[in-house]
Amino acid sequence: MAVYTDVSDGALRAFLSEYQIGDLTAFRGIAEGVENSNFVLRTTGGDFILTLYERRVDPDDLPWFLGLMGYLSDHGLSCPRPVPARDGAALRTLAGRPAAVTTFLSGVWPRQVLPAHCAPVGAALATLHAAGQGYDAVRPNALGPAAWPALVAACRADGDSVQPGLMAELDAALAEILPAWPGQGGHADLPRGQIHADLFPDNVFFLDGAVSGIIDFYFACTDILAYDIAICLNAWCFDADGSFDVAKSRALIAGYESVRPLSEAERRALPVLASGGALRFLLTRLYDWVNTPPGAMVTRKDPLDYLRRLRFHRAVRDGGAYGL
């Protein structure tokens, strides 16, 4: 739930006077989103989203993110399109924060993932990957495998307080995953491109059973395309009781392949990529867990949800577990 920075009337009016998007008629803070402050902005010209970028986003990355969103939107993906002001610039400043106006997308994100959601989300992910091939600028994945040893180290002192033996298990997982990673230790690399890297259900809007929009590109980066599928296997294919639902993963991968077929090497790499995806979310959640004062006004997500996912993927021996 997030409005971290509020916007005074005068500042909002001055900000909007630089745009040609009509006159303001309504302005409401949005509860969703944990990284930035978001508002629904209604004008006589339509609906828009106003985002103020908070401290977790590096301002230097914003031109890349906004450029990617504009490019994907131009190339067949339904995603927020940055709206430039009169001077042509979409990235501006408001209330002391970097800020941008983007288009409003219809749809509702699924609170409860059903197998029927998974083929459309797989196809939308492949559409994103295909469209992103023409966007040449590279943004390295700041939360990729190279970052994991430092995250483990940062959690070492307090991690076992969350669950005894946790840090030893993370050390073992890291020692297994890193040398097996595509492009590492003699393993062939896999196709790379622009990935979303955070395609959880609350970032995907549906309307009438179809994906109507993908949002929140502020973890997007240039990395192994199949790693994005592996993140989706973690984000979409485990049931509320923690069990893996192979019907969901089969549908998700089939949906993906309806747009972009996977190579044999990509399929073979799914278990290690999915293990890495589970480890990545486990580590950032664990880091936040042990570094968030109990009184802080943020929702801490349980890192152990991802320990169960990590164990599942590490035990996978072939693609059959994913319905391949």
Binding site residues, a copy of itself, CB under 8 A:
1-3, 6-10, 12, 24-32, 40, 42, 104-108, 110-112, 205, 207, 294-295, 297, 299
Strand 204-207 with 210-214, pairing: antiparallel
Rounded CA separation 255/249 (Å): 10
Our CB check for a copy of itself shows the closer of 117 and 250 to be: 117
The least distance separating a copy of itself from the CB of residue 42, rounded to whole angstroms, comes to 7
Helix (H, G, I), strand (E, B) or coil at 164: coil
Q: Measuring CA to CA, how many Å separate 94 from each of 7, 34, 63?
A: 8, 19, 16
Our CB check for a copy of itself shows the closer of 24 and 324 to be: 24
- Give the residues across from 37 on adjacent strands: 52
- Give the residues across from 50 on adjacent strands: 39, 101
Our CB check for a copy of itself shows the closer of 130 and 162 to be: 162
Whether 72 and 92 have beta carbons less than 8 Å apart is answered as: no
Rounded CA separation 250/298 (Å): 35
The least distance separating a copy of itself from the CB of residue 6, rounded to whole angstroms, comes to 6
Whether 79 and 105 have beta carbons less than 8 Å apart is answered as: yes
DSSP per-residue letters across 201-255: GGGEEEETTEEEEE---TT-EEEEHHHHHHHHHHHHSB-TTS-B-HHHHHHHHHH
The least distance separating a copy of itself from the CB of residue 44, rounded to whole angstroms, comes to 10
Our CB check for a copy of itself shows the closer of 89 and 207 to be: 207
Our CB check for a copy of itself shows the closer of 165 and 295 to be: 295
The least distance separating a copy of itself from the CB of residue 111, rounded to whole angstroms, comes to 5
The least distance separating a copy of itself from the CB of residue 139, rounded to whole angstroms, comes to 28
Our CB check for a copy of itself shows the closer of 46 and 179 to be: 46
The least distance separating a copy of itself from the CB of residue 9, rounded to whole angstroms, comes to 5
Residue 92 tokens read as 């501006």
